[in-house]
Amino acid sequence: MIVGVPKESYPDERRVALVPAVIPVLAKAGLEIAVQSRAGEEAGYPDSAYAEKGAKIVPDRAGVFAAADIIVQVLCYGSNDVTGKDDLSLFRRGQLVIGFLRPFGSAEVVQQIASAGVTAFSVEMMPRTTRAQSMDALSSMATICGYKAVLIAAETSIRLFPMMTTAAGTITPARVFVIGAGVAGLQAISTARRLGAVASAYDMRPAAKEQVQSLGGRFVELPIEAKNAQDARGYGTAQDETFYARQRELLGRVVAESDVVITAAVIPGKKSPVLITANMVKGMAPGSVIVDLASERGGNCELTQMGKTVVENGITIIGAINLASTVPYHASQMYARNLSNFLVYMMKEGKPQLNVQDEIVRETMVTHGGEIVNARVREFYKLPALAPAGP
């Protein structure tokens, strides 16, 4: 079986799906690797590094798709809404495609992928279980986003982050408030603390309190309780507007007292809840910074503009997207390890075993045999349920 690694085509995407270090691991599983020339160059992995590990360098994209039984990408068509459609004509029936797919983005796009006859796996659908932890690419990339969000905030802020005792007196530390203590939020807390800031966080899931405190952050508790705060996968669940209105009211004071606010409250498959209103932004001190990690799904701040930095009433609001691509060397390394673990897990005697009785395979497989086969995706798009499949 040949695994093809095309160069990422999304504008300014610098990551690569596989790095040279994982090629020997995949070779042991019976896989050969074909890499498009210069696919890893922007991430710091030249063609020579792949060749040294036994990969074949293919001069063009079409050649990679033509040779490969399995295509691995960072942003597949679905998550790549700019140039991804060009890959549809390169897909072959029966080919496996693995990467970020954004399966809850567009029913039309997912159906186009299904109609191409490929078996597509969406890495963001990976179960959050102990068995699948080493394959969890979404958490890997969220870790980088949380880290980078704090660095961007520190660079943008008019204030220093750490407490300093100087000849001019003592400078008090910056106050960083994180809303949404998932993987990205927890990394933001940890990074803010490393830079010397005072970090606090809020999450509607009570289980997050212990995690925040273990990193040295203060957990902000509000006198309001969410109904079924998290789903079986550990993600926060959508609440009604009454809950969000009360939440915004209670968060207003904490936001106003913060020098930096980082929001990371994302609900899979849904628009991000608005947690910071324009009025709340007005209450912040001039020079304060908001980094909205939920901007791609509408943003947690009412004034966020996806992919843009705006200044309102002296407050800088950063709607950064694709932050993991800004540190492509380690982002690619982490992603490649997740992907290679997934590939090795599926391979038996040199062939992928598409056993839908296996939770990891079943939950990540979105299309197969010309159909959208993922139960969650079908339910989301209100498609009729498929008959249960055998192994």
CATH number of the domain bearing residue 252: 3.40.50.720
Q: Which residue has the tokens 């990193």?
A: 215
β-pair partners for 315? 312
Q: How many domains does the chain have?
A: 2
* Positions of the chain with pLDDT under 50: none
Enclosing domain of residue 54: 2-136+328-380
Within 8 A by CB and 6+ apart from 284, the residues are 255, 256, 258, 261, 313, 315
Verify that 71 and 167 share a domain, yes or no: no
Active site residue 139: yes
Is 385 inside a domain boundary? no
* pLDDT computed for residue 204 by the predictor: 87
Selection from 124, 126, 117, 123 nearest residue 368 by Cα:
117
Q: What angle do CA 285, 289, 292 make, to 5 degrees?
A: 135
Active site residue 235: yes
Verify that 251 and 177 share a domain, yes or no: yes
Verify that 118 and 177 share a domain, yes or no: no
DSSP state of 276: B
Instruction: State whether residue 348 is helix, strand or coil.
Output: strand
Is 389 inside a domain boundary? no
Active site residue 95: no
* pLDDT computed for residue 269 by the predictor: 77
* pLDDT computed for residue 229 by the predictor: 66
Verify that 99 and 206 share a domain, yes or no: no
* pLDDT computed for residue 251 by the predictor: 93
Catalytic residue among 47, 69, 235, 305: 235
For 263, phi and psi rounded to 5 degrees?
-105, 135
Catalytic residue among 38, 128, 194, 362: 128
* pLDDT computed for residue 32 by the predictor: 98
Catalytic residue among 79, 95, 139, 272: 139
* pLDDT computed for residue 234 by the predictor: 61
Beta strands in 157-313 (DSSP E): 164-166, 169-171, 175-179, 198-202, 218-219, 260-263, 289-292, 309-312
Catalytic residue among 133, 213, 353, 357: 133
Catalytic residue among 136, 203, 259, 292: 136
Active site residue 200: no
Verify that 238 and 303 share a domain, yes or no: yes
Query: How far is residue 241 from each of residues 17, 90, 183, measured CA to CA in Å?
Result: 39, 44, 25
Verify that 265 and 332 share a domain, yes or no: no
Verify that 54 and 106 share a domain, yes or no: yes
Using a cut of 0.85, tell me whether the model's pTM lies above it. yes
Instruction: State whether residue 294 is helix, strand or coil.
Output: coil
Verify that 214 and 249 share a domain, yes or no: yes
Active site residue 133: yes
